[in-house]
Structure 1
Amino acid sequence: MSTATARTVVTGIGIAAPNGLGTADYWAGCRSGKSGIARITRFDPSGYPAKLAGQVPGFTAADHLPSRLLAQTDHMTRLALVATDWALADAGVVPAELPAYDMGVVTASSSGGFEFGQGELQKLWSRGSQYVSAYQSFAWFYAVNSGQVSIRNGMKGPSGVVVSDQAGGLDALAHARRQIRKGTQLIVSGSIDASICPWGWVAQLAGGRLATSEEPDRAYLPFDAAAAGHVPGEGGAILILESQEAAARRDARVYGEIAGYGATFDPAPGTGRPPGLRKAIELALADAEVDAGDIDVVFADAAAVPDLDRIEAEALNDVFGPRGVLVTAPKTMTGRLYSGAAPLDVATALLAIRDGVVPATTNVDPDQSYGLDLLTGEPRAMEVRTALVLARGHAGFNSALVVRSA
């Protein structure tokens, strides 16, 4: 097999999610229907119209990271560093034992280190510039997770960051696959995102898509007649990607393959041209060399905005036929985790392949007019060999990724 078409596999997973810290806790939470959505505790939300979020529980950065890193990192970067440690350990990789230029880092971000940035701006306004940390120069930046992960682990190969809102997590994995195909031995990829602070919260409210219900079980309801916006969350997943040959050489355990990818951008409003999600799905299937009938389950983007839910449902109906494929949205247990949502869905799909069980969409009473076979209630035990993960970003980003058993 040529390098350009080398199969890219996932050998390690690290998860930090609102319904579970670590892969085992998250997966147990998913299968039991555990929700991580609750009233915000990271700041007082009483003065804001939206008060619910998915927050990662039980995370104390000082238990996992040296104090020198705590002073220079935002909450999201601390989560990303620890999730990377877990993913590398899961993959059985010791970075110090590999050539530095054979390892790279490609992550996604939707906002950067907003909480760190807010704190330093407050110091600037209230106390003066001499009180602003020098680390503000990069701790807020979109690429900071890629940078800090690469520095901590001595990774000097191809690296970068993708910024395409919620779609970014899939775009990062696709870019990582390109680097693997170009010959890099190992890429750390995925995303951990977090922006649950007043500055980040106001920015999200301005988008007009946040649910304002104060009932955790009735706030985030994709494909439900009562859908009225999404609940944000923090966290995501970091994945270790390698070529199949490299993984085989070291006899690594393989979760599955990143088999296909497609991305499009929606046309401008008012043009009369159709949305691009269907085309992204078709591109991903073609890239993976699979037919619609080969897909066992779709992990939906699940915007919980009626117009966007309709677009997603129509794309799925066009490709698979009405109720033609099982659809699930386990992110109803976590909220939408910015660019971290899709890598978490990819990790969930890989765990579903491993264990033969698909987690359900919680709390939703499906609106039958969408024509979807939406899995609700209990998880479903079934063989999963190939899954499709969808993600869309604000203003028109569409991405689709096919994962399959290796």
Structure 2
Amino acid sequence: MSARTVITGMGVAAPNGLGVDRYWKAVLGGTTGIGPVTRFDATDYPSRLAGQIDDFTAADHLPGRLLPQTDVSTRLGLAAADWAIADAGIDAETVPDYEMGVVTSNAQGGFDFTHREFHKLWSKGPEFVSVYESFAWFYAVNTGQISIRNKMRGPSAALVGEQAGGLDAIGHARRTVQRGTSLVVSGGVDSALDPWGYASQLASRRVTTATDPERAYLPFDVHASGYVPGEGGAILVIEDEASARERGAPRIHGAISGYASTFDPRPDSERPPGLRRAAELAIADAGLTPGDIDVVFADGAGVADLDRAEADAVTAVFGRRGVPVTAPKALIGRLYAGGGPVDVVAAVMSIRDGVVPATGRTGEVPDEYGIDLVTGEPRTLAVRHALVLARGRWGFNSAVVVSAP
């Protein structure tokens, strides 16, 4: 039996709240973080909504020397890591530097930073391009910057799996801990809300063209018309339970008890998508059965055919209306690599408080979906084990089981 892997620290940067407590209060209160794009003139774009973080000023959270060399996503990631590390009660004296690793996911790179530098290149010349462009755009930069800032020299990695990547990072961190590293900082953060980054997201043709923020992103609803892009994510501190207790961790929020990932077959294959298999494998990895799962935090694409496919996977595992399902990301948008880790935090809070948040403004679920979607108001429910699902474009599927401390 592998050592139990637990969560000792959490940091969230979400469009409807900075910090775990503010985010959770907003989710339970149904406070949306979705609104009109304000960072550029989106008048001529077919979609004009996003889950923006408007109350984050990087200079309030990070030293000035980091500002010229970091993209928005890295700044958010560094701040969330600082909050998670403080929550876990970690300092230079508690854990040796080579016993601490960093595993993060990022799906979009440093869009805002690199496009600003490209504009300099094209309009002024190469001598005007920042030297930091050599790494600020890169998918691995959040892992690197968190590692350097916190002197974490243990095994580290960066993963890219679009919306599924954040759960993959947490799963990889768990595996790293089980192989002997005492502590791993893990999660995912993304941001691409500059003009080019936003346009790249619209290229999927899965982004809604709805103009009312209150009715734009409706996972599993008969009126679902696509999703809303967002920014932000969550960073967690994941530890071996025995090591955490030995060092006197202030608290254990929960456990990462199961993880699995699968990949869909090619589009013309007769084989089914891999989400059901990912869920089944993660539950088995946790030593549980489907009947042990109290709630599912769904991927919730907000696209009719994808919602139907996810509903089919859930009912295949749990039976028709066999488990409560929720998608709180409907209030903040799809955060790509950040989405799964934020849902893991929400799962931890559901376990702590005995309540399952509602799915944004979704209210009319097709009967043929057969799922027990939590809508309208949060549902009081004793939660011991939660299943978190995520799917990335091009076939990535990931599942994590979060359990009570």
Provide, for residues 109-148 of structure 1, a one-character-per-residue CA deviation record: whole Å limited to 9, x for no partner.
Answer: 1011100000000000011000000000000000000000
Q: 1:293 aligns with which of 291, 294, 311?
A: 291
Match of 2:254 in 1: 256
Letter of the structure 1 residue corresponding to residue 370 of structure 2: G
Match of 1:50 in 2: 47
How much is the aligned-residue C-alpha RMSD, in angstroms? 0.9
Query: Helix, strand or coil: the match of 2:184?
Result: strand
Contact 1:21-1:57 at 8 Å conserved across structures: no
Contact 1:297-1:387 at 8 Å conserved across structures: yes
Query: Helix, strand or coil: the match of 2:166?
Result: helix
2 CA distance for matches of 1:96 and 1:336?
38
Provide, for residues 41-77 of structure 1, a one-character-per-residue CA deviation record: whole Å limited to 9, x for no partner.
Answer: 1222112111000011310000111111000000110
Contact 1:233-1:335 at 8 Å conserved across structures: yes
Unpaired runs of 5+ in structure 2?
none
Q: Which moved more, 1:8-17 or 1:203-212?
A: 203-212
**Residue-pair matches, total:** 403
- Does 2:197 match 1:187? no
- Does 2:298 match 1:306? no
Match of 1:196 in 2: 193
Contact 2:94-2:247 at 8 Å conserved across structures: no
Match of 2:61 in 1: 64
Contact 2:259-2:282 at 8 Å conserved across structures: yes
Query: Helix, strand or coil: the match of 1:228?
Result: coil
TM-score by length of 1: 0.98
2 CA distance for matches of 1:60 and 1:104?
27
Contact 1:221-1:230 at 8 Å conserved across structures: yes
Contact 2:69-2:136 at 8 Å conserved across structures: yes
1 CA distance for matches of 2:74 and 2:39?
16
* Deviation of 1:29 (Å): 0.3
- Does 2:104 match 1:107? yes
- Does 2:217 match 1:220? yes
1 CA distance for matches of 2:144 and 2:392?
23
Letter of the structure 1 residue corresponding to residue 356 of structure 2: V
Match of 2:82 in 1: 85
Letter of the structure 2 residue corresponding to residue 342 of structure 1: G
Shift of the 203–351 alpha-carbon distance from structure 1 to 2, 3 Å rule, reads same
- Does 2:338 match 1:340? yes
Aligned 1:232-251 pairs, distance under 5 A = 232-251=229-248
2 CA distance for matches of 1:363 and 1:11?
32
Contact 1:219-1:228 at 8 Å conserved across structures: yes
Match of 1:330 in 2: 328
Aligned 1:33-44 pairs, distance under 5 A = 33-44=30-41
Query: Helix, strand or coil: the match of 1:391?
Result: strand
Query: Helix, strand or coil: the match of 1:71?
Result: helix
2 CA distance for matches of 1:57 and 1:372?
34
2 CA distance for matches of 1:64 and 1:269?
45
Match of 1:364 in 2: 362
* Deviation of 1:250 (Å): 2.3
Provide, for residues 78-103 of structure 1, a one-character-per-residue CA deviation record: whole Å limited to 9, x for no partner.
Answer: 01111111001111111454211110
Provide, for residues 285-320 of structure 1, a one-character-per-residue CA deviation record: whole Å limited to 9, x for no partner.
Answer: 110010111000000000111111111000001100
2 CA distance for matches of 1:206 and 1:224?
23
2 CA distance for matches of 1:183 and 1:63?
36
Query: Helix, strand or coil: the match of 1:68?
Result: helix
Match of 2:163 in 1: 166
- Does 2:9 match 1:12? yes
- Does 2:115 match 1:118? yes
TM-score by length of 2: 0.98
1 CA distance for matches of 2:52 and 2:70?
18
Q: Percent identity?
A: 60
* Deviation of 1:212 (Å): 0.7
1 CA distance for matches of 2:300 and 2:92?
36
2 CA distance for matches of 1:78 and 1:271?
41
Contact 1:33-1:362 at 8 Å conserved across structures: yes
Match of 2:173 in 1: 176
2 CA distance for matches of 1:308 and 1:242?
34
Provide, for residues 166-207 of structure 1, a one-character-per-residue CA deviation record: whole Å limited to 9, x for no partner.
Answer: 000000000001110111111000011111111111111111
Letter of the structure 1 residue corresponding to residue 357 of structure 2: P
Match of 2:373 in 1: 374
Provide, for residues 205-243 of structure 1, a one-character-per-residue CA deviation record: whole Å limited to 9, x for no partner.
Answer: 111110011110111111111111100100110000000
Match of 2:383 in 1: 384
* Deviation of 1:256 (Å): 0.6
